[in-house]
Amino acid sequence: MGKIDLKKLGLKVTLPRLKVLAILERNQREHLSAEDIYKALLESGEDVGLATVYRVLTQFEQADILNRHHFAEGHSVFELNQGEHHDHILCVKCGEVDEFTDEVIEARQDAIAKEMGFEITHHSLYLYGICSACQKK
Amino acid sequence: MGKIDLKKLGLKVTLPRLKVLAILERNQREHLSAEDIYKALLESGEDVGLATVYRVLTQFEQADILNRHHFAEGHSVFELNQGEHHDHILCVKCGEVDEFTDEVIEARQDAIAKEMGFEITHHSLYLYGICSACQKK
DNA sequence: CAAACAATGAAAAAACTTCTCATTATTATT
DNA sequence: AATAATAATGAGAAGTTTTTTCATTGTTTG
Ligand SMILES: [Mn+2]
Ligand SMILES: [Mn+2]
Ligand SMILES: [Zn+2]
Ligand SMILES: [Zn+2]
């Protein structure tokens, strides 16, 4: 988990990029939308445009320092790439998001792709359900 | 695979609903967007509004006669519910979509949800990669 | 510190989907 | 077959999320 070096990624070191990165680092366990990040910037008194937030997030995604997810919400959410891959399970009642990794599933995915002649690049797996807290209500 | 009875689903039997259904039935193996369906209607000389296509698709989804998918494209695609569940593998080069089912993955998903205290309702699994045809180019 | 060029903010536009509302169609009931 | 009750429709406006445009500003290199 070394510090992220924008210069090494071919990105100029600008205030907007550093600020967005700081917000993502400060919210490691969260899954933030572009709007969330934009609002956080405004609250910190930073003068960054929403278009820039979108641009920077796309660049970070291409540089593989963060992951974009499409939960069943209509907008993208982002989280810093924490090294080890993980998948997500979401509560359809309260929106809670938990993370998991399963080696059996990962292995089967690779096997299936191979069987079907695909060279797999990535995957997205989301489980939806009702969390234990919401079941009790 | 009995004929779909709109009346039994609590939906009035209207021309737009029948036409949309016909297009979906005629394209069982495809994954069509609302726009695709709208264009197909126009080409058949049908006078159906795009808003109606969206409305009807949402109603069909709620009636559980079709499934909505969010591939990495920015818009929803739909396919008639063919009884047995399946997941998807997509080519990032040419857009080809193939289908598969894996009992091991299905079982692990249920087990994971249970372990994490969730009552699972559904899931979405998409594998992305390069198909065999595109690898040869 | 100057030149070269990349990044930015603001606003417009694009892409997709939903909403509003006046009109029309369907259904159940005569 | 006509009626009344009500649900569905088409057109366009509007809502959401994201991208593009472009004049201005900032970063980097030498
Ligand atoms: Mn996560
Ligand atoms: Mn399918
Ligand atoms: Zn919950
Ligand atoms: Zn391909």
pTM value > 0.95:
no
- Give the per-residue pLDDT at A59: 98
Band of pLDDT at residue A83, cut at 50, 70 and 90: confident
For residues B20 and B35, state if they share a domain: yes
Band of pLDDT at residue A11, cut at 50, 70 and 90: very high
Q: What gap in Å lies between CA A119 and CA A121, rounded to an integer?
A: 7
What number is the average pLDDT over the span B110-131? 97
Would you say residue A1 has pLDDT above 60?
no
For residues B76 and B92, state if they share a domain: no
Query: Is B58 within the bounds of a domain?
Result: yes
CATH number for the domain harbouring residue B74: 1.10.10.10
Share of chain B above pLDDT 70, in %: 99
For residues B75 and B11, state if they share a domain: yes
Query: Is A64 within the bounds of a domain?
Result: yes
For residues A52 and A67, state if they share a domain: yes
Q: What gap in Å lies between CA B92 and CA A122, rounded to an integer?
A: 10
For residue A12, which nucleotide's C1' is closest to its Cα? D27
Strand C: list positions under 7 Å from protein Cβ: 6-12, 15-20, 25-27
Q: How much is the mean pLDDT over chain B?
A: 96
Q: Which residues of B touch A104 (CB under 8 A)?
A: 104-105, 108
Query: Is B1 within the bounds of a domain?
Result: no
- Give the per-residue pLDDT at A111: 98
Q: Name the 3-class secondary structure at A87.
A: strand
Encode pLDDT of A17-61 as tens digits: 999 999 999 999 999 999 999 999 999 999 999 999 999 999 999
For residues B57 and B111, state if they share a domain: no
- Give the per-residue pLDDT at B2: 62
For residues B12 and B75, state if they share a domain: yes
For residue A11, which nucleotide's C1' is closest to its Cα? C6
CATH number for the domain harbouring residue B95: 3.30.1490.190
Query: Is A71 within the bounds of a domain?
Result: yes
The answer to whether the CB of B110 falls within 8 A of the CB of B122 is: no
Instruction: Report the gap between the CA of B73 and the closest CA in chain A (Å).
Output: 10
Q: Which residues of A touch B97 (CB under 8 A)?
A: none
Could you tell me the residue range of the domain that residue B127 belongs to? 87-135
Residue A9, CB, strand D, below 7 Å: no
Contact B119 A112 (CB under 8 A): no
Say how many C-beta atoms besides its own lie within 10 A of residue A109's C-beta.
22
The answer to whether the CB of B39 falls within 8 A of the CB of B27 is: no
Encode pLDDT of A63-80 as tens digits: 999 999 999 999 999 999
Query: Is B31 within the bounds of a domain?
Result: yes
CA of B101 to the centre of ligand 2 (A): 10
Q: Which is nearest to A27 in space by CA: A16, A15, A36, A18?
A: A36
